[in-house]
């Protein structure tokens, strides 16, 4: 994983350096193509960094979950589906706190996405004994509180 990130970073640096030197010599079409390649490389680096962060956080989340719940299959499922920025303690808080109290409406798009993904992780992993009629997931996503 580290080697891939370093390789992409090195390639990005080389491309960026070449772009800076050749910018005056290239026509606008080639400049645009080069800039697009640079953006794609930067996006790949960002995605690899996020993946690395998520992989590093899984053991800590798993330990938190096992201390509280102690059900291996559930903990494995949840920690693999949670966003990297949400630990198990935050996950439980999201589940038990009404959206209004969390300040969901005032959150950034990224924060909302993380909370929504946490609720989806819960819905996919838990053996919920309550009613699961039509629109079950929609009901969770549009809830004031889960319970």
User: What percent of the chain is modeled with pLDDT above 70?
Assistant: 64
Torsion of CA 32, 34, 37, 41, to 10 degrees: -120
Residue 109 placed within a domain:
yes
Overall number of domains in the chain: 1
pLDDT at 40: 87
The contacts of residue 117 (CB under 8 Å, 6+ apart) are: 81, 82, 83, 86
* pTM of the full structure: 0.53
Say yes or no to pLDDT of 39 above 80. Answer: yes
CA distance 50 to 37: 20
Mean of per-residue pLDDT scores for the chain: 76
Residue 146 placed within a domain:
no
CA distance 15 to 10: 9
Range of the domain at 33: 2-141
pLDDT at 147: 42
pLDDT at 130: 60
Identify whether the C-beta of residue 73 lies closer than 8 Å to the C-beta of residue 82.
no
């Amino acid at each position: 994983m580290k080697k891939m990130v370093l390789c992409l970073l090195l390639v990005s640096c080389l491309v960026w350096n070449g772009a800076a030197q050749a910018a005056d010599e290239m026509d606008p079409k080639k400049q645009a193509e080069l800039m697009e390649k640079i953006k794609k490389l930067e996006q790949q680096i960002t995605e690899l960094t996020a993946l690395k962060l998520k992989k590093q956080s899984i053991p800590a989340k798993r330990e938190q979950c096992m201390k509280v719940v102690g059900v291996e299959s559930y903990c494995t499922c949840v920690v693999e589906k949670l966003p990297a920025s949400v630990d198990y303690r935050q996950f439980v808080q999201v589940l038990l706190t009404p959206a209004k109290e969390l300040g969901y409406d005032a959150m950034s798009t990224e924060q909302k996405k993380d909370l929504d993904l946490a609720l989806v992780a819960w819905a996919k992993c838990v053996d919920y004994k309550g009613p699961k009629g039509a629109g079950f997931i929609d009901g969770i996503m549009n809830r004031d509180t889960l319970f």
